[in-house]
Structure 1
Amino acid sequence: MTAARNSFHSKMLPVRQFTHNGQPPLLTKPAARAAGTSIGLSRSPLQQVRPAREAARMYFMALATDYDGTLADHGTVSPESLEALKRFRDTGRKLLLVTGRELPDLKRVFPHTDLFDKIVAENGALLYSPDTEEEKPVAPAPPPEFVERLRAKGVDNLSVGRSIVATWEPHQKAALEAINELGLELEIIFNKGAVMILPTGVNKATGLKAALKEMQLSLLNVVAVGDAENDHALLRSCGCGAAVANALPAVKDTADFALKGERGAGVEELIERIIAEDYGFCANSLHQVQIGEGDDGPVSIAPPDVLLIAGSSGIGKSTLATALSERLREKRFQFCVFDPEGDYEDLEGAVTVGSGSVTPTERQVLELLANPDENVVVSALGYELKERPAFFAELMSDISALRARTGRPHWLIIDEAHHLMPAPRDSASLALSDDRSGTIMITVHPDSVSPTALSAVTAVAALGPKGREAIETFCAAIGEDPPDGLDEVRAEDEVLFWRRSTEDQVQRIRVEKPKQVRKRHTRKYAEGHLGEDASFYFRGPENKLNLRAHNLIMFLQIAEGIDDETWEHHLRAGDYSKWFAERIGDPELAEEAAGIEEDRSLVPAESRKRVAEAVRRRYTAPASEKD
């Protein structure tokens, strides 16, 4: 019997059907998964004219199918369906069977369990690995007194598994009475006449999640298919849900779309669509990430996209990236942030590896990313600027392999992309994979980023008064003409958004704002390694010295030891306030330093003391505190 499903989730909306011409379905399901037409784009991301790229990374990595009434017809799976399952596995994807049957009963009627990577039996209560024959209960055994009470009430058509107790209608009344009389935390799940009793909260969705955790896969990368009441939770939990043509009407309402074929024929149809189109056949709004709001409505990016966020320093690029990270968390996407400057060490919902004094290791990052529910910030602040591309390339090689195997992390956020993927390095030395979808690159200098990386960009968000120049610089770097619409006047709080296609011109949008209060991250400037162009140089009169301060702590140490003449030379020239304003990006510190510079009554010892106090007040103490 198939596993029963709860009906306690969101309200149902129209189902989406396949069309005869092979185009993506047009109607979507629940409000939370409204169609791509509701996201403010003229067409879905995969229908956009996108830059030519190598074969795309697989997005839907696994199929989870119900057994009775879905894959099987009266308990039997056809040879055609078995061949379709084999074709699916040959693509490198995974197969999971999710059924309400008890395992011995399933093995009796279905001798091909070895086709599946995992089997979730007893409606989510038992995991079975066909390759090792390991059985792993994920729910407690049924209380003996409950089974005895049912039999005492005349329920003779009874089956007892490792966790499940199953019977048929109309014995649900006796089961409910027994549960209440004994005060048990059990619930009844229906499945086309079957009555299944399980511990509260155990269903096909929870069982599938437990199986996927062992396989290091995310629910977002799974397509599920079913037919009966006990499949509602399963279909809602996955990245895409399908219903075979013989499914109950309520199940079709829950699904993203209904298949044309019944039972095994429907599963075969689904498999062919996944192999042929992958993400494109089910691009529902669950996978869309809103970046902002335009005149025509919300503007979003999707897993096939590569977004470039560009603009001058201090204009809000990392703020937008933070807002996008929040949207990714809301959508259950896993993300990994490459953070060369220490701007994201306080990012909510993510674990930071590395700091200004400790360099991260590949093993640390990969161990965290092995858990689909864990987001990671990789801080490269402890590396010298020249060391960062090599570290990034080495780590990217492993992460690309992880993405090819699991589809995760779903999104990579690469800050200061010109540091990590500099233009002079070729794609081989950067270890860039053929497909770079699901990536957000952030930079001040698009022309300093590897052309190979830029060629994959599908959309650009340009911030600040120099947004036009940023898009023009990007276009020059990839050898394309700038888009139309750059000359139009825009409001001060608007961002230029351009999707690289043959039809769309630049839009003016208001971008998402982060909910979390972003702290100014002091480690970047207090302990990190600022680049040569951002460091302070104590040179003194006639350039007698050349002492480089690559962070604020080093600045204070050098300032304490240099002679008065060198200190005064830079003080009277206003060099300290200029560095604080232009390179550190702290106007308040710059203003305080300018006041000290202008006070001619201060002797060198006193001016040093006041500048040092101003720096330590803002940076040194916070940098040593735990965030």
Structure 2
Amino acid sequence: MRYHCFITDYDGTLASNDRVMPEAIQALKALKATGRKLILVTGRQLEELKAVFPEYVVFDRIVAENGAVIYCPATLTLALLGSPPPKEFIDFLEDQAVPVAIGHVIVAGREPHQQVFLNAIKTAGLEYQLIFNKGAVMVLPPGINKATGLHQALRELQMSEHNSVAIGDAENDTAMLLTAECAVAVQNALPQVCQIADWTTDRPAGEGVMQLIQRLIDDDLAQIDPCLSRHYLSLGKEMNGSLFEVCPYGERILLAGTSGFGKTTLAAAFIEKLIAKAYQFCLIDPEGDYQDLPGILTIGDGDHPPQIGEVTALLTRADENVIVCILAVPLDDRPAYFNKLAQAVAGLRKATGHPHFIIMDEAHHLMPHQHSSRQVEFPVEFNSFMAITTRPELLDRELVKRINTALVMGEAPDQTMRSVAHILSADLPMPENQSFQKGEVLVWQKNRPHLRLVKSDLPGSLLMRHKRKYATGDMGYNSFYFNGPAHRLNLKANNLMMFIQMGSGVDDDTWSYHLRRHDYSNWFRHSVKDESLAVAAEQVENGTDDSRASRQAIFKMIMERYTLPA
């Protein structure tokens, strides 16, 4: 289920002339019976709303006073997002004989008195804002609107805006509608509201609300999905210059190919797109490649396996992205561990709709094809995932059969795509006489049978900041140790710059000892996770025994790749 939360305005939307149709109330109850949460967002004061709409208890939260007040009917708790208006402000308005209604936070009046409100704000030295709503004028502290109140209500319910649909009719509904994943306008809405809506109902006010509710119950708004392209995530450009985009909901992506050709770069770009649009993700990291990504919580490390309860507790907060590092989980135990984690995350998704994406790096560690017993039991709605691997044939067949998008990179992506086609029992004509460059992606999508070539996006600051860990940070247990013959030394280089510093100072015998053993290229490949640097270092290791020349060559390669602009 995509939409777990239904949000509606009151006046002009759910209600007409203070009245809510009995049929609309029954529709709300039917919608709530599906397990969805209901939020009423209104410019009215709470006490006034209760007086005209006694059925308000059907809602899980009420956001009143245009976002300033959050009320829970079940517990009778009230939260204010702003301070009450100061006395001098109210006194000024009363001296001007302006009719006003004073709430917990809001001061409300009518046009054409907006200039008097502005004068009162100036006289009192306040930073208040004016919000208009079909002739009504609302005065509120800065930063408070229906969107901010809605955000707070959703977090109380452990919900995300990306799993919500909102319906409204007037100017003050704009922020709320733009915040929701799906914005709906009733037929009687103002033209500017209809313009920003993803869909407009055929019926006005309460009848339009009932029409939306019925579509939610029938198919979770699947018919409206094509209207939501504003949420799509761009991953690159097709050869004709058009954007290559994927939907943030329901995508089952396989990212496969040989190392050193841009899989990590594309994955980092994808993560950045998720972060930019506030889609929550859970990344399972078997090798510790994604530890210390800025702004993302990591559970587990090389010594301590992540506790599943701790992971799900963090993921209940829709604003938190989580990396699950399973380095400490033995290789043979990883499929069973992932099975438990997948079931727990599926349970959270069923209740809340998030995390929105599951990213599985080195997915063959989690769902291997060759495992002796079937340990992974896929939840029925196991979707919205990206599985990353070197070769699709290493993966559990049932996982590969579920994909609807394949992104293939590497030296011979056409051969890798043939493996995908074989598992899917699909006829995928391969491009002939096609040369493939680093960063290019061979794409298959279930709804578009022809293969296409895409130039993948490059990540912005995320991957660069991550690379600084290898350049100047602390790599911990992945550090390089200069031991030399007979292990006379034990010098720890905990990053690449320290490697250069120590490598410059060790004696020729120690340097050459590691050179002949290919220790440098192995460290670059398995600890620094830089295949291109490893390949270049191998050429040096195979090409010369000269200590000075090999040092200069390897140090130059590192500096070219990891000396980053400030």
| 1:560 aligns to 2:487 (yes or no) | yes
Matched residue, 2:144:
202
Q: Is the 8 A contact 2:3 2:164 kept in 1?
A: yes
**Residues 109 and 595 (structure 1 numbering): CA distance in 2 closer, same or farther, change over 3 Å?**
closer
1:22 aligned partner: none
Query: Partner residue of 2:323?
Result: 377
Say which structure, 1 or 2, has more relative contact order (CA 8 Å, 6+ apart). 1
Letter in 2 for 1:514: P
Q: Give the match for residue 513 of structure 1.
A: 458
Aligned partner of 1:442 among 364, 388, 396 = 388
User: 1:484 aligned to 2:484?
Assistant: no
Q: Report the TM-score, using the length of structure 2 for normalisation.
A: 0.84
One-letter code of the match for 2:238? G
User: Unaligned 5+ residue runs, structure 2?
Assistant: 490-509
Q: Does 1:182 align with 2:121?
A: no
Q: Is the 8 A contact 1:309 1:317 kept in 2?
A: yes
How far apart are 1:372 and its partner, in Å?
1.5
Displacement of 1:426 in angstroms is 9.2
Deviation at 1:225, TM superposition (A): 0.7
Deviations 1:220-266 (CA, angstroms, capped at 9, x unpaired): 21111111111111111111111111111121122222211100000
Partner of 2:92: 149
For 1:399, the aligned partner's letter is: V
1:310-333 deviation line (CA, Å, top 9, x unaligned):
001222111100001111112221
Q: Deviations over 1:404-462 (max 9, x none)?
A: 11111111111111101112459973242111221111001211211221121001010
Q: In the TM superposition, what are the counterparts of 1:163-182 in structure 2 within 5 Å?
A: 163-182=105-124
Decide whether aligned partners of structure 1 residues 558 and 414 sit closer, same or farther in structure 2, where only a CA change above 3 A counts: farther
Within the candidate set 320, 325, 337, 2:266 is matched to 320
**Are 1:193 and 2:120 counterparts?**
no
Say if 2:102 and 2:108, in contact at 8 Å, map to a contact too: yes
Residue 308 of structure 1: aligned partner: 254
| Alignment partners' CA distance in 2, 1:349 and 1:408 | 19
C-alpha separation between the residues in 1 aligned to 2:147 and 2:372? 45
Question: Alpha-carbon deviations, 1:289-345, whole Å to 9, x = none?
Answer: 112211351121111111100001222111100001111112221111111112212
Cα distance change of structure 1 residues 467 and 141 upon mapping to structure 2, 3 Å threshold: same
- Cα–Cα, structure 1 residues 453 and 290, in superposed 2: closer, same or farther, change >3 Å? same
Amino acid paired to 1:100: G
For 2:400, the equivalent position in structure 1 comes to 454
Could you tell me which of 233, 240, 253 is aligned with 1:289? 233
Check the 8 A contact 2:131/2:172 in 1, yes or no.
Answer: yes
Give the share of equivalent positions with the same residue, in percent.
37
Cα deviation digits, residues 77-132 of structure 1 (max 9, x gap): 11211121112112211110001111111111111112111110111111111111
User: Aligned AA for 2:180?
Assistant: C
Aligned-partner residue type, residue 519 of structure 1? K
1:255 matches 2:207 = no
Aligned CA distance change for structure 1 residues 163 and 572 (closer, same or farther; 3 Å)? closer
Q: Which one-letter code corresponds to 1:136 in the other structure? A: A
Where does residue 360 of structure 1 map in the other structure?
306
What is the RMSD of the two structures over their aligned residues, measured on CA atoms?
3.3
In structure 2, the residue corresponding to 1:112 is in which secondary structure?
A: helix
Residue 275 of structure 1, CA deviation: 2.4
Partners of 1:134 and 1:329 in 2: CA distance: 32
Q: Distance in 2 between matches of 1:117 and 1:110?
A: 15
In the TM superposition, what is the alpha-carbon distance from 1:177 to its structure 2 partner?
1.2
- 1:245 paired to 2:187: yes
Give the residue type in structure 1 aligned to 2:3: F
One-letter amino acid matched to 2:232: Q
Q: CA deviation at 1:499?
A: 0.5
Report what 2:54 is aligned to.
111
Is 1:134 paired with 2:82? no
Query: Does structure 1 residue 236 correspond to structure 2 residue 184?
Result: no
Q: Which of 338, 348, 355 is matched with 1:409 structurally?
A: 355
Amino acid paired to 1:504: P
Equivalent position amino acid for 2:144 in 1: V
Secondary structure at 1:241 match in 2: strand
Q: How far 1:279 moved relative to its partner?
A: 5.1
- 2:441 aligned with 1:498: no
What amino acid is aligned across from residue 487 of structure 2 in structure 1?
A: E
Deviation at 1:75, TM superposition (A): 1.0
Contact 1:307/1:460 (8 A) holds in 2: yes
SS in 2 for 1:85: helix
Is residue 69 of structure 1 aligned with residue 12 of structure 2?
yes
CA distance in 2, matches of 1:601, 1:247: 78
| Contact 1:427–1:452 (Cα < 8 Å) also in 2 | no
CA deviation after TM superposition for structure 1 residue 592, in Å: 5.9
Which segment drifts farther, 389-398 or 212-221? 389-398
Number of paired residues?
Answer: 524
Q: CA deviation at 1:578?
A: 7.2
> What letter is aligned with 2:388?
I
C-alpha spacing 1:596/1:512, structure 2 compared with 1 (3 Å): closer
Amino acid at match of 1:166: A
| Counterpart for residue 2 of structure 2 | 59
CA contact under 8 A between 2:299 and 2:325: conserved in structure 1? yes
Q: Is 2:39–2:60's contact at 8 Å kept on the other side of the alignment?
A: yes
8 Å contact 2:521–2:534 — kept in the other structure?
no
Where does residue 388 of structure 1 map in the other structure?
Answer: 334
Please report how far the alpha carbon of residue 348 of structure 1 lies from its aligned counterpart in structure 2 after TM superposition: 3.7
Q: Is the 8 A contact 1:483 1:505 kept in 2?
A: yes
Mapped to 2, the partners of 1:559 and 1:267 lie a distance apart of: 79
For residue 572 of structure 1, report the CA deviation from its aligned partner: 10
Change (3 A) 1:556 1:475: farther
Tell me how far apart the structure 2 counterparts of residues 589 and 469 of structure 1 sit (CA, whole Å): 24
What is the CA–CA distance in structure 2 between the aligned matches of 1:154 and 1:228, rounded to whole Å? 28
Change (3 A) 1:421 1:491: closer
**Residue type of the alignment partner of 2:88:** E
The answer to whether the 8 A contact 1:126-1:162 is kept is: yes
Gap runs ≥5 in structure 1: 1-57, 529-550, 603-609, 623-627
Q: 1:510 to 1:272 in 2, by over 3 A?
A: same
